[in-house]
Amino acid sequence: MTSAENELYQEVVLEHKRAPRNFGHLTAPTHRAQGTNPSCGDRVAVELQLDGERVADIRFTGQGCAICMASTSMMTEAVKGRDLATAQALQQHFRAVLTGEEDPEGAPLGKLVSLAGVRQYPSRIKCALLGWHALMHAIGDNDGRPVSTEEGRP
Ligand code: ZN
């Protein structure tokens, strides 16, 4: 990672931690799920309002470290208004980049690529993925994988 990439990463994480997007509750969520990451103490709950195959609205609540909160905040921005297939594809690419299976250079991640720096810190990867795990759980497709290291129920 170059120092410019590192600076962007730090800046984006702090900015979203300071002012998380789509934070709070929906009045009438159609889907929801919680996720916990006991290794760090992160907890997030994701609420969705699906309109057919589209994420009409999304909110999240919870408490966690800067990386967890920033990543969940960016996740909500990335998937709001998109269809479920797009959200699932983003989640797969994001996870593949963080785990080193995919090169961030070529990954279709949009703004999320600024979180690629997390791959330098293996212990924080779970923090960055927690919101996405909760999202996948909420829409009922987590590929059979557990929603987190310790699953929470609403
Ligand atoms: Zn964390």
Q: Residue type at 29? A: P
19 alpha carbon to ligand 1 midpoint, in Å?
17
108 alpha carbon to ligand 1 midpoint, in Å?
25
DSSP for 55-107? EEEEEEEEE--HHHHHHHHHHHHHHTTSBHHHHHHHHHHHHHHHTTSS-TTT-
Q: pLDDT at residue 141 above 70?
A: no
Please give the pLDDT value at position 14: 92
130 alpha carbon to ligand 1 midpoint, in Å?
9
CATH topology of domain 3-148: Sufe protein. Chain: A (3.90.1010)
pLDDT average, residue stretch 69-97: 96
CA–CA distance, 46 with 33 (Å, rounded to integer): 6
43 alpha carbon to ligand 1 midpoint, in Å?
9
CA–CA distance, 115 with 145 (Å, rounded to integer): 23
Question: Of 6, 3, 7, 61, nearest to 29 (Cα)?
Answer: 61
**Residue 112 CB contacts under 8 Å (≥ 6 apart), including other chains:** 74, 75, 78, 90, 94
Q: What's the pTM?
A: 0.88
89 alpha carbon to ligand 1 midpoint, in Å?
23
pLDDT digits (tens, 9 = 90+) for 67-76: 999 999 999 9
Strand order in the sheet with 42-51: 54-63, 42-51, 31-37, 150-152
Q: pLDDT at residue 7 above 90?
A: no
DSSP-based three-state secondary structure for 37: strand
16 alpha carbon to ligand 1 midpoint, in Å?
14
124 alpha carbon to ligand 1 midpoint, in Å?
6
